[in-house]
Chains A and B, each alone.
Chain A
Amino acid sequence: MLLKDLCELKGVAGNEKIVRDTIKKDLESAGKKVTIDRMGNLIVSNGVKSDIHLGVTAHMDEVGLMVKGIDDSGLIRFTNVGGLDPRILISKVVEIGDEDVPGVIGAKPIHMQKAAERKKAFAMDQLYIDIGTGSKKETENSVSPGDYINFISPYQPFGNHKVKAKALDNRIGCFMVLELIKMDLPIEITGIFTVQEELGLRGSQVAANNLEADLVLVLEGTTCGDLTEVEEHLKTTELGKGPAISLMDRTSIYQRKLVDKLTEVADQHHIPWQYRRNSFGGNDAGRFQHSKEGTPCLSVATPCRYIHSPVSVMDERDFEGMKKLLTVFIEEISKGGIL
Chain B
Amino acid sequence: MDGKNLLEKLIQTSGVSGYEGKLAEVVKEFFEPYADSITSDALGNIIVLKKGQKSSGILMFAAHLDEIGLMVKKIDKNGYLHMTSIGGFDQRVLPCQEVTVHGKEDLFGVIGMLPPHITGGKQEDSIKLEDLLIDVGYSKEEVGDLVSVGDIVTINRNMRLLKNNRITGKALDDRAGVVSLYEGIKNLHSQIHDVDVYFVLTVQEEVGTRGAITSTYGINPDVGLAVDVGFGKTPELNAHDTLELSKGPGILVGANTHPNVFKRLKETAKKNHINYQVEVAPGPTGTDAWPMQISGSGVATGVLSIPLRYMHTSVETVDWQDIETTGQLLSHFVMYFNSKEMEDFLCY
Given contacts A90-B313, A120-B125, contact A311 B110 (CB under 8 A): yes
Q: Are B109 and A158 in contact (CB under 8 A)?
A: yes
Interface-facing stretch out of A4-12, A35-43, A105-113: A105-113
Contact of A132 among B116, B163, B235 (CB under 8 A): B163
Q: Are A305 and B76 in contact (CB under 8 A)?
A: no
- A291 lies within 8 A of chain B by Cβ: no
State the CA gap A159–B79 with chains docked (Å). Answer: 11
How distant is A321 from chain B, measured CB to nearest CB, in Å?
Answer: 17
- A residues 60-89 in Cβ contact with B at 8 Å: 71, 73, 75, 83, 85-88
- A residues 106-141 in Cβ contact with B at 8 Å: 106-113, 118-123, 126, 128, 130-134, 138
Interface-facing stretch out of A25-33, A226-234, A294-302, A331-339: A226-234
Q: Are B118 and A306 in contact (CB under 8 A)?
A: no
Given contacts A121-B123, A158-B107, contact A281 B117 (CB under 8 A): yes
How distant is A301 from chain B, measured CB to nearest CB, in Å?
Answer: 14
State the CA gap A250–B68 with chains docked (Å). Answer: 43
Q: Are B114 and A308 in contact (CB under 8 A)?
A: no
- B38 lies within 8 A of chain A by Cβ: no
B313 closest partner in A (C-beta)? A91
How distant is B119 from chain A, measured CB to nearest CB, in Å?
Answer: 8
State the CA gap A105–B316 with chains docked (Å). Answer: 10
10 more A-B contacts (CB under 8 A) besides A73-B235, A90-B313, A104-B310?
A87-B95, A91-B94, A109-B231, A111-B286, A120-B124, A131-B162, A159-B108, A159-B109, A306-B112, A311-B112
Q: Are A225 and B115 in contact (CB under 8 A)?
A: yes
Contact of A104 among B90, B108, B164, B315 (CB under 8 A): B315
Q: Are B113 and A88 in contact (CB under 8 A)?
A: yes
State the CA gap A133–B315 with chains docked (Å). Answer: 15
How distant is B232 from chain A, measured CB to nearest CB, in Å?
Answer: 9
Given contacts A93-B315, A107-B310, contact A88 B234 (CB under 8 A): no
Interface SS of chain B: loop
State the CA gap A167–B222 with chains docked (Å). Answer: 58
Q: Are B315 and A106 in contact (CB under 8 A)?
A: yes
- B325 lies within 8 A of chain A by Cβ: no
Which residues of A sit under 8 angstroms from B37, Cβ to Cβ? none
Interface centre among B88, B142, B160, B165 (most CB of A within 10 A): B160
Q: Are B115 and A119 in contact (CB under 8 A)?
A: no
Q: Are A91 and B310 in contact (CB under 8 A)?
A: yes
Question: What are 13 A-B pairs with beta-carbon distances under 8 A?
Answer: A90-B95, A92-B315, A93-B315, A103-B162, A130-B317, A131-B163, A132-B163, A132-B164, A132-B166, A158-B137, A223-B115, A227-B114, A313-B112
Q: Are B126 and A121 in contact (CB under 8 A)?
A: yes
Give the number of residues in B that approach A within 8 Å (Cβ atoms).
68
- B183 lies within 8 A of chain A by Cβ: no
Chain A interface residues toward B at CB < 8 A:
71, 73, 75, 83, 85-88, 90-93, 101-113, 118-123, 126, 128, 130-134, 138, 142, 153, 156, 158-162, 164, 223-230, 234, 236, 278, 280-281, 305-311, 313
State the CA gap A120–B91 with chains docked (Å). Answer: 11
Given contacts A104-B162, A104-B168, A121-B124, contact A91 B231 (CB under 8 A): no
Given contacts A118-B91, A158-B108, A159-B136, contact A311 B310 (CB under 8 A): no
How distant is B41 from chain A, measured CB to nearest CB, in Å?
Answer: 28
A279 closest partner in B (C-beta)? B117
Q: Are A110 and B88 in contact (CB under 8 A)?
A: yes
How distant is B56 from chain A, measured CB to nearest CB, in Å?
Answer: 38
Contact of B317 among A104, A158, A281, A313 (CB under 8 A): A104
Q: Are A119 and B125 in contact (CB under 8 A)?
A: yes
Q: Are B138 and A106 in contact (CB under 8 A)?
A: no
Q: Are B116 and A107 in contact (CB under 8 A)?
A: no
State the CA gap A205–B135 with chains docked (Å). Answer: 37
Q: Are B96 and A310 in contact (CB under 8 A)?
A: yes
State the CA gap A162–B131 with chains docked (Å). Answer: 22
Given contacts A311-B98, A313-B137, contact A106 B160 (CB under 8 A): no
State the CA gap A158–B110 with chains docked (Å). Answer: 10
Q: Are A86 and B123 in contact (CB under 8 A)?
A: yes
State the CA gap A33–B119 with chains docked (Å). Answer: 44
Task: Give the 7 A-B CB pairs with smallest separation, nearest first.
Answer: A159-B137, A132-B162, A106-B310, A162-B137, A132-B166, A132-B163, A104-B315
- B161 lies within 8 A of chain A by Cβ: yes
Which residues of B sit under 8 angstroms from A134, Cβ to Cβ? 164, 245-246
State the CA gap A309–B309 with chains docked (Å). Answer: 24
Q: Are B110 and A306 in contact (CB under 8 A)?
A: yes
- B97 lies within 8 A of chain A by Cβ: yes
Which residues of B sit under 8 angstroms from A162, Cβ to Cβ? 135, 137
State the CA gap A132–B313 with chains docked (Å). Answer: 16
Which residues of A sit under 8 angstroms from B115, Cβ to Cβ? 223-225, 236, 305-308
Q: Are A160 and B313 in contact (CB under 8 A)?
A: no
Q: Are A133 and B126 in contact (CB under 8 A)?
A: no
Which residues of A sit under 8 angstroms from B317, Cβ to Cβ? 104, 106, 130, 132
- B236 lies within 8 A of chain A by Cβ: yes
State the CA gap A83–B286 with chains docked (Å). Answer: 40
Which residues of B sit under 8 angstroms from A138, Cβ to Cβ? 163-164
State the CA gap A138–B166 with chains docked (Å). Answer: 14
Contact of A309 among B89, B96, B245 (CB under 8 A): B96
